[in-house]
């Protein structure tokens, strides 16, 4: 069948999940659970569209990342500095993101749930794609964000495993007291992890609004932030694991688009495919998942 077509579609569906999941890896490795990723994607999609509408796509992406970072700062202040329960803070952010986007949309565009059409980045054609007939759908008309995201996987893998920053980030997530004793600034590392996750989630939201659809529609993230969190856990808190998990989600979803309703398969079953497939793979690859030891636990300096 149109295998390359299916793969290209899988990539398009997987990219926002992957970007957000990569961010989640940074945040969770520093020991902060970030359930506010969905909210950061929402503000990313809205502010990206807003920035692109007024100043063009490049500013749009910058504004989207900033919006994600602003939400992440709130999350970091609440959960790192003041040690509020990380889940509570994240849920509050999701509601704030939803409400504030609707409010701003109404205030600026006089429409609560959509913005006007906005421009995206110029699509890239990889040279020589025409000579490989089977891969053409994979190599032509792709968004630069897709390439950046794929590149981010090895880069993140390197940063987390091979650099001083990554080592400290992991140390803070595993045993903050030990890291602190060795002179690592625990709070600064946690802030860095959370802010990176906000930036990437904002970028992912902007990708949906600007690159995929060309417009912001309220609720267009459709819970992808939560799926990204699941993909990160499924990927065992590593960037390459997140890549595999996101691709699986994307593949399952675009596969479900291609199964046509017939007398054997009822329609509702087709819509279940992504979730069924994920469950099957999850059950089939029973691995021991190993979260960072101090994940979700606020670090109290004078507690120990």
Partner 1 sequence: MQFTKKILIVGLALVLLVSLVAGCGQKPATEQKQEQAPAQQQEQQQSQQATETEKIKIGLVFDVGGRGDLSFNDSAYAGLERAQKEFGDKIEVKYLEPSAGGENREQLMRLLAEDGYNLIFGVGFMFTDHIAKVSQEFPDVKFGLIDGAIDGLKEDSNVSCLLFKEQEGSFLVGAAAALKSKTGKVGFVGGMKSPLIERFEVGYLAGAKYINPNIGTMVDYIGTTGDAFKDPVKGKELALKQFKAGADVVYHASGASGIGVIEAAAGEKKLAIGVDSDQSLTAKEDQRKYILTSMLKRVDVSVYNTIKAYLDGNFKGGYQIFGLAEDGVGYAVNDYNKDMISDIQPKLEELKQKVIKGEIKIPMDKKEYEEFLKTLSK
Q: Is 122 exposed, middle or buried (0-12, 13-18, 19+ CB in 10 A)?
A: exposed
The answer to whether residue 112 forms part of the interface with partner 1 (CB under 8 A) is yes
Number of shown-chain residues binding partner 1 (CB under 8 A):
47
Which residue, 175 or 213, has its beta carbon nearer to partner 1? 213
Ramachandran area for residue 123 (φ above 0: left; ψ -120 to 50: alpha; else beta): beta
Choices 25-33, 183-191, 215-223, 281-289 (CB under 8 A): range interacting with partner 1: 215-223
Stretch in the footprint of partner 1 (CB under 8 A) among 108-116, 173-181, 196-204, 285-293: 108-116
Identify residues 183-212 at the interface with partner 1 (CB under 8 A).
Answer: 208, 212
Half-sphere exposure of 60 (CA within 13 A, CB side): 28
* Minimum distance, C-beta of residue 5 to partner 1, in the bound complex (Å): 5
Query: Site mask, partner 1, residues 265-294, x = CB under 8 A?
Result: --xx--x-----------------------
Q: Does 92 bind partner 1 (CB under 8 A)?
A: yes
Q: Which stretch in 27-35, 52-60, 63-71, 251-259 sits in contact with partner 1 by CB under 8 A?
A: 251-259
Residue placing its CB nearer to partner 1 in the complex, 23 or 205: 205
Judged by CB under 8 A, which stretch of 56-64, 103-111, 180-188, 275-283 contacts partner 1? 103-111
Regarding 220 and contact with partner 1 (CB under 8 A), the answer is yes
The whole-angstrom separation of Cα 116 and Cα 125 is 27
- For the beta carbon of residue 54, count every other beta carbon within 10 angstroms: 12
**Region 50-89 residues binding partner 1, contact defined as CB under 8 A:** 78, 82-84, 88-89
CA dihedral 270, 226, 167, 171 (to 10 degrees): -120
Nearer to partner 1, 155 or 259 (CB): 259
Site membership for partner 1, residue 214 (CB under 8 A): yes
- Measured CA to CA, the distance from residue 67 to residue 199 in angstroms comes to 8
How many C-beta neighbours within 10 Å does residue 151 have? 10
How far apart are alpha carbons 138 and 19 in whole angstroms? Answer: 19
In sequence order, the 6+-apart residues with CB closer than 8 A to the CB of 133 are: none
Instruction: From 196, 195, 187, select the one nearest 168 (Cα to Cα).
Output: 187
Whether 12 contacts 212, CB under 8 Å: yes
Rounded to a whole number of angstroms, the minimum distance from the CB of residue 66 to partner 1 is: 19
- Of 86 and 156, nearer to partner 1 (C-beta) is 86
CA 69 from chain center: how many Å?
13
The CB-of-243 to partner 1 minimum distance in angstroms stands at: 20
CA atoms within 13 A on the CB side of 275: 6
Segment near partner 1 (CB under 8 A), from 162-170, 182-190, 232-240, 257-265?
257-265
CB 210 within 8 A of CB 119: yes
Q: Contact between 297 and partner 1 (CB under 8 A)?
A: no
Instruction: Give me the 122-141 binding string for partner 1, x by CB under 8 A, dash otherwise.
Output: ---------------x---x
Query: How far does CA 86 lie from the centroid of its chain?
Result: 18
Chain residues binding partner 1 by CB under 8 A are 2, 5, 9, 12-13, 78, 82-84, 88-89, 92, 95-96, 98-100, 102-103, 106, 109, 111-115, 117, 137, 141, 208, 212-215, 217-220, 222, 254, 257-258, 260-261, 267-268, 271
């Amino acid at each position: 069948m149109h295998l390359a077509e299916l793969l290209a579609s899988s990539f398009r569906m997987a990219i926002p999940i992957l970007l957000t999941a990569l961010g989640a890896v940074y945040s969770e490795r520093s020991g902060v659970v970030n359930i506010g990723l969905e909210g950061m994607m929402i503000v990313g999609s809205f502010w990206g569209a807003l920035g692109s509408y007024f100043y063009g796509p490049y500013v749009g992406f910058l504004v989207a990342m900033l919006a994600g970072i602003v939400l992440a700062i709130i999350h970091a202040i609440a959960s790192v500095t003041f040690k509020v329960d990380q889940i509570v803070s994240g849920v509050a952010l999701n509601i704030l993101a939803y409400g504030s986007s609707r409010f701003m949309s109404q205030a600026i565009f006089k429409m609560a749930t959509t913005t006007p059409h906005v421009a995206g980045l110029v699509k890239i054609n990889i040279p020589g794609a025409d000579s490989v007939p089977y891969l053409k759908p994979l190599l032509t008309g792709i968004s630069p964000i897709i390439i950046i995201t794929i590149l981010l996987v090895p880069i993140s893998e390197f940063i987390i495993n091979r650099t001083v920053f990554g080592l400290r980030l992991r140390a803070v997530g595993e045993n903050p007291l030990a890291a602190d004793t060795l002179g690592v600034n625990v709070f600064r590392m946690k802030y860095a992890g959370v802010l990176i996750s906000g930036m990437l989630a904002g970028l992912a939201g902007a990708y949906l609004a600007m690159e995929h659809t060309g417009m912001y529609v309220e609720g267009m993230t459709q819970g992808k932030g939560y799926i990204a969190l699941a993909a990160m856990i499924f990927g065992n808190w590593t960037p390459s694991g997140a890549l595999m998990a996101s691709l699986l989600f994307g593949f399952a979803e675009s596969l479900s688009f291609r199964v046509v309703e017939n007398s054997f398969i009822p329609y509702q079953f087709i819509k279940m495919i992504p979730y069924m497939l994920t469950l099957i793979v999850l059950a089939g690859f029973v691995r021991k998942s190993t979260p960072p030891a101090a994940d979700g636990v606020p670090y109290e300096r004078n507690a120990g």
